[in-house]
Amino acid sequence: MSLDPHFIIQRPLITEESQIQLSKGGQYTFRVNPKANKVEIREAVEALFPNVKVVRVNTMNYDGKMRRQFTSRTAGRRSHWKKAIVTLRPGDKIELI
């Protein structure tokens, strides 16, 4: 499923936990396409940021939350999504902000 790297990597996730992972081990967290596998995520990160080398990719699938519509009081669901934690080679950095 060869996709455009911008379609695979949707956006970086900047949370308190991701900042701790970044400072301790050089791990970056991204929201990715749910259909993308680890190899495609690795290739997309290396294509978007040419001066980095990916060592490891960990992925997690999340179910969308059930949400109630306020106006009609019917139930709905947010979309399912996937998170990837990408570990870079020591010394490599990505400027996200």
Q: Which amino acid is at 17?
A: E
Answer whether 29's CB lies under 8 Å from 15's CB. Answer: yes
Q: What are 35's two structure tokens?
A: 């259909």
Residue 71's pLDDT band, with cuts at 50, 70 and 90, is confident
Domains of the chain, start order: 5-88 (3.30.70.330)
Residue 2's pLDDT band, with cuts at 50, 70 and 90, is low
Q: What are 3's two structure tokens?
A: 């996709």
Q: What is the pLDDT of residues 17-59, one digit of tens each?
A: 999 999 988 899 999 999 999 999 999 999 999 999 999 999 9
Quote the pTM value: 0.86
